[in-house]
Chain A
C-alpha cells in the first residue's frame, strides 16, 4: 500500500530564515511522482513543486527546493528566505505508477507553518 507521512504537525520559522518540512513515503511502485502543495487559510491548493522518481536532480522552483533522497524514501521541502505570506498548511503528496489507477494523489497529514516577524 502507498503511504505518505508528515511527522511535523506544526512548525515555526523566523522571517528570512530557511525551513525544512519533512515528508517520507512508502510505495512498491518503481515509477512515482512527489508533490508539495500549499494551502492558505482561504482553502485553495497551490502547487509548489514536483519530483519524479527517476529525476536525478533535486527539483527547485524559486525559493522552494525538494531534497529527494530515494534510498531513504524522503522528499523534504526546503523553503529559503521565509516570508510572512508563507504561513499556511503544507501537504506532501504522491502519485503512484501503474498500481495507482487513475493517477490519484495520496496526501500526507500536513504541516502547519507559521512564519514569525
Chain B
C-alpha cells in the first residue's frame, strides 16, 4: 500500500528554536498534502492544505507566519514551526493523496514536538 514517511518522529528543543518536519510520499505522487495538529486525547485539527507548487491554504486561526509550509515537489512537503514556544508543543501529523479529491489520504506516523 501507499507509504508516507514523516520525520522526525519526535523532537525536543529550546524555546525560540525553529523546527522543520518533513512529510514524504515514498511510492506515489502526492499532489496534495495535509498538515494536522493533535493535542492529547483530542481530535485531529486540520492546519493547512498544501498543493505541489502553490501556496498552502491555511485553516482559520492558524498563523501562516508561524507555521510555514512548503510543498516544492510531488513527494515532499515540509512544515516549519518558527520560533517555537511551549504552547506549540503537540503531535503533528501529515497526510498525502494523489491528484483526485476522491483518492484516499495516507498518513505519516506523526511527530511529537516538545518545546522546553
A103 is contacted by which of B44, B93, B97, B107 (Cβ under 8 Å)?
B97
A45 touching B107 in the complex, CB below 8 Å, given contacts A103-B32, A107-B43, A110-B43: yes
CB-CB under 8 A from B112, the residues of chain A are: 43
Q: Indicate whether B86 reaches chain A with its CB closer than 8 angstroms.
A: no
Q: How large is the interface on B (under 10, 10 to 19, 20 to 34, 35 or more residues)?
A: 20 to 34
For the complex, give the distance between the alpha carbons of A35 and B107 in Å: 13
Beta-carbon nearest neighbor of A52 in chain B: B102
Q: How large is the interface on A (under 10, 10 to 19, 20 to 34, 35 or more residues)?
A: 20 to 34
**In the complex, how many angstroms separate the beta carbon of B54 from the nearest chain A beta carbon?**
11
CB-CB under 8 A from A89, the residues of chain B are: 41
For the complex, give the distance between the alpha carbons of A109 and B104 in Å: 20
For the complex, give the distance between the alpha carbons of A107 and B93 in Å: 13
B101 is contacted by which of A37, A95, A107 (Cβ under 8 Å)?
A95
- B42→A45 contact, CB < 8 A: no
Q: Indicate whether A36 reaches chain B with its CB closer than 8 angstroms.
A: no
CB-CB under 8 A from B34, the residues of chain A are: 104-105
Give B8-35 interface residues, CB cut-off 8 Å to A.
32, 34
Q: Indicate whether A91 reaches chain B with its CB closer than 8 angstroms.
A: yes
- A45→B95 contact, CB < 8 A: yes
- A45→B49 contact, CB < 8 A: no
- A108→B110 contact, CB < 8 A: no
For the complex, give the distance between the alpha carbons of A47 and B1 in Å: 11
- A103→B102 contact, CB < 8 A: yes
A108 touching B43 in the complex, CB below 8 Å, given contacts A45-B95, A103-B102: yes
**In the complex, how many angstroms separate the beta carbon of A98 from the nearest chain B beta carbon?**
9
- A105→B109 contact, CB < 8 A: no
Q: Indicate whether A62 reaches chain B with its CB closer than 8 angstroms.
A: no
Using CB atoms and an 8 Å cutoff, list the residues of chain B in contact with chain A. Answer: 32, 34, 41-44, 46, 49, 51, 57, 91, 93, 95, 97, 100-110, 112
Could you pull out 19 A-B pairs where Cβ atoms are within 8 angstroms? A33-B102, A42-B109, A43-B91, A44-B108, A44-B109, A45-B107, A47-B104, A50-B104, A101-B57, A102-B57, A103-B97, A103-B101, A103-B103, A103-B105, A104-B34, A107-B43, A107-B44, A109-B43, A112-B41
